[in-house]
Amino acid sequence: MCTNTWIKMVELLHKYSLIPSNILNKYFRSLHSCEAPGALICATNHKLRQLYDNSGNILNKGNICGLWKQAKAALVTTDGSVDTSSDPNEQGSIVSELRYAEAVTALGASEKGGALVLKM
């Protein structure tokens, strides 16, 4: 899967050491918000939907709080979007609620000293 986003993420991982160097002796937990489609996301959603409202929708405050309670992540990435093709001039206002929810979710789910990649 070689896309511009994939290339940028690899660049960020290398340039900023987003994965701790001492990971060999510990576990590493990451949270990837709003990154569908993808088999890993679908499998994770399958598990999560049994515990919450069956959507994983981070616009739902209960889902955000549920993520925060589960565990903290060393790396959190977000890459959400909304179809704005019907009104491209209003893209900023259309996606603003999702961007806010991504940031709130990510900040609450990050462990102390963790890293956040928020694609805008």
What one-character DSSP code corresponds to residue 22? G
Spell 62-90 as b/e; 16+ CB within 10 A means b.
Answer: ebbeebeeeeebbbbbbbbeeeeeeeeee
User: Considering the entire predicted model, what is its pTM?
Assistant: 0.62
Q: Spell out the per-residue pLDDT of the chain, length 120, in tens.
A: 566 767 777 787 778 877 766 665 566 677 777 765 544 444 444 444 544 565 778 888 888 888 888 878 888 988 888 888 899 899 888 899 999 999 999 999 999 988 888 887
Sign, Cα dihedral of 98, 100, 103, 106: negative
Which of 21, 40, 116 is CA-nearest to residue 73?
A: 116
